Structure 1
Amino acid sequence: MFVFQSKVTCIINRDKQRDLQYVQEYKPENGNVSHLRVLLYGPVGAGKSSFINSVSNVLRGRMTIPTLASATTSNTSFTRRYETFKIRKGKGNPKTFYPFVFNDVMGLEEGSDSGVRAEDIKLAMKGGVREGYKFNPLSPLSERDPGYNPTPSPDDRVHILVCVFSANSFSCCLPENSDWVSVSAAIPQMAIVTNIDAACAEIEKDLKNVYMSKHLKKKVSVRHSAVGIPMNCICPVKNYSQEIQINDEVDSLIVSALRLIIDFGDDFIDNMQTSPAGQ
């Protein structure tokens, strides 16, 4: 048993280092794009902000808090504004950052008068939302609003859309809008499933059981049907929450998901080179 666990640990460490090196060396080849933009969306409390923090932890090798995340369980969204989060690379001066950024939007909520509007997500994907725009659940962003960006650049556009949901919750309220489907279909999509340890006792006992858990596979399968994202594009992760030091097993799942995000997003950026106006 000890020998088996040691081999598994070695594999986890090897995979983490391989994926980490890949991420650290990534650079968009399209000269018109300086960074890959990742848009995270999903139900309230799914762990969108915490995933950004967790990615930062892995890449910087220590605990960090580039974005504030809710410390309590709530039915309302903690994120209110459209903000871009960069992750610092190295410790030199002047500051340098990784060539990918994250945007976290207000959470999806049940009802037409709460949570982020599907129209706002659609505009964000096109690059039509300015930095700092405050989401209004009662009214979508309009062309008359100061938060509207009428001339988005290739950098402003979203290059990959990532749905974040919790394995420990049945909430999966997605925008019911045919227009949303047609727009999002043009952008690569994948999903992150969080709180896997809270959803399965075997995973909570040992994170290495993540790919052997039938319970988790069943939960992911339900989400796969709901969001229409292929099973091999849904990545299980455990966000950093209670830990005060980085952990190889937690890191390995996070950086594996990040590598897939970069691969899919970079494919979209490459296609932008040969498509007029990035369409």
Structure 2
Amino acid sequence: MGSSPSKPEFVTVLAEKHVTSGADILLQCEANTEDVTASWQKDSHSLSCVHGKHTVSKRGTTFVLKISNAQESDEGNYTITLSNSSGSASCSAIVRVEIKDWREVQWSKKDLMLKTLKSFKICNEVKELRYLVYGPVGAGKSSTINTIRSIFEGRQFVNCLAAAESTTSHTLCFESYRFANREESFPFIFYDIMGAEAEEDGVQTQDVISALKGHIKEGYTFNPDTPLSKSNLYYNQNPSLSDQMHCLVYVVPAERVSVMEKAFLKKLESVRKTASIMGIPQVVFMTRVDRACPMTKENLRNVYKSKKIRENMRKYSNALGVPVNCIFPVLNYHEETHVNEDINCLMLDALIQIIHFANDYVVKFSKSKSLHQQSHCE
């Protein structure tokens, strides 16, 4: 009678792989015996080998899986199981595929981007483009304004009092924030508004709509119980194009997309609908990207390589009705004590995009107003 084969054991195991998109992946291990049958799995399912994509081979006691031209779909947990009549043994390895940047950012070109913003020429009918910042408490609305101010000041700047997570809003008044450095000012203003809270507290939806339309004067103190009335001294009866908002900026947390959808989507619905009817561009600043993705936390320049960031951008797109190309992942200053060029460049890249959106709205509104006046004169 022949002796039983040796029970399979691994001399070397599969090693984890981190490759860039388009590269080949080579997974290999070595066993203590040739007398085994090898089977491969991906994510606990039998691996379906595709011709020209997967190559399974055996050289003596070495077992190899080659995956050609790695793509996102090839990412996963790969397992090899060696079996014979004496038993079996398995080992696994994670394969990660780093995708190419799907957006370009002018990293290390802060001065050039600042120059672009300073030299931007807007429609003559308004002197400054107005942005209304709106979102749930603790998402980073005030921190976004502080970050922009820090970029232009060239130092850490804290003027907006930012709310901690899971607290009530620190923003109580309707305030504007202009930006300037030692040379000159920039042609846009950000307006901070009381945060939207999950329950009945927080900013009244009607106040957000009034702010969009230019009815609220600066300095108004928000009342969570009742919206601004038309008889109030802070109510602007006849707002001009210069009084109203030219862009609505939703500020939302990157790591809490599912929570935000459930708690705030209903509150946002009427605001979103009003902005859409008015034709006001709507954009999203998705903050705290370092908390949503370890790869981005390690290096902010990976933000447009991160599948998690892209996935959450798509979720917010569906939840808020904002196209993905109008969603900008950003990182605000919160732990840093010194300026960070990557934080600056990512924010400046977003600002350059949205200044065009707001200006397009002003130009369109001005043209339609001019045509309306001409039709009355004829």
Paired position in structure 2 for 1:165: 252
Paired position in structure 2 for 1:110: 198
Letter aligned with residue 353 of structure 2: L
Question: TM-score with structure 1 length normalisation?
Answer: 0.87
- Separation in structure 2 between the aligned mates of residue 181 and residue 48 of structure 1, nearest angstrom: 17
Question: 1:1-24: per-residue Cα shift (whole Å, max 9, x none)?
Answer: xxxxxxx9x95113x343222112
Q: Which has the higher contact order (CA 8 A, sep 6+)?
A: 1
Q: 1:102, CA displacement in angstroms?
A: 0.5
Indicate how the Cα distance of structure 1 residues 226 and 129 shifts in structure 2: closer, same or farther if over 3 A, else same: same
Asked whether 1:34 is paired with 2:127, we answer yes
Paired position in structure 1 for 2:157: 64
Unaligned 5+ residue runs, structure 2? 1-100, 373-378
Map 1:1-279 → 2, pairs under 5 A: 12-14=107-109, 16-28=110-122, 30-70=123-163, 72-90=164-182, 97-111=185-199, 113-169=200-256, 170-172=259-261, 173-176=264-267, 180-185=271-276, 186-276=279-369
Over the aligned positions, Cα root-mean-square deviation in angstroms equals 2.2
Q: Which has the higher helix share?
A: 1
Letter aligned with residue 171 of structure 2: T
Secondary structure at the aligned position of 1:87 is classed as strand
**Percent pairwise identity:** 36
Q: 1:238, CA displacement in angstroms?
A: 0.4
Question: 1:140-174: per-residue Cα shift (whole Å, max 9, x none)?
Answer: 11101222111223221100011110012232413
Letter aligned with residue 180 of structure 1: V
Larger Rg: 2
- Separation in structure 1 between the aligned mates of residue 106 and residue 354 of structure 2, nearest angstrom: 22
Indicate how the Cα distance of structure 1 residues 177 and 64 shifts in structure 2: closer, same or farther if over 3 A, else same: closer
Question: 1:125-149: per-residue Cα shift (whole Å, max 9, x none)?
Answer: 1100011111112111110122211
Secondary structure at the aligned position of 1:162 is classed as strand
Q: Mean Cα displacement is larger for which, 137-146 or 224-233?
A: 137-146
Residue correspondences, number: 263
Question: TM-score with structure 2 length normalisation?
Answer: 0.65
Letter aligned with residue 23 of structure 1: L
Indicate how the Cα distance of structure 1 residues 40 and 175 shifts in structure 2: closer, same or farther if over 3 A, else same: farther
Unaligned 5+ residue runs, structure 1? 1-7
Q: 1:176, CA displacement in angstroms?
A: 4.4
Runs of 4+ in 1 over 3 A off after TM superposition: 174-182
Q: 1:227, CA displacement in angstroms?
A: 0.2
- Separation in structure 2 between the aligned mates of residue 278 and residue 69 of structure 1, nearest angstrom: 43
Instruction: Please tell me whether the aligned partners of residues 206 and 227 of structure 2 are also in contact (alpha carbons under 8 angstroms).
Output: yes
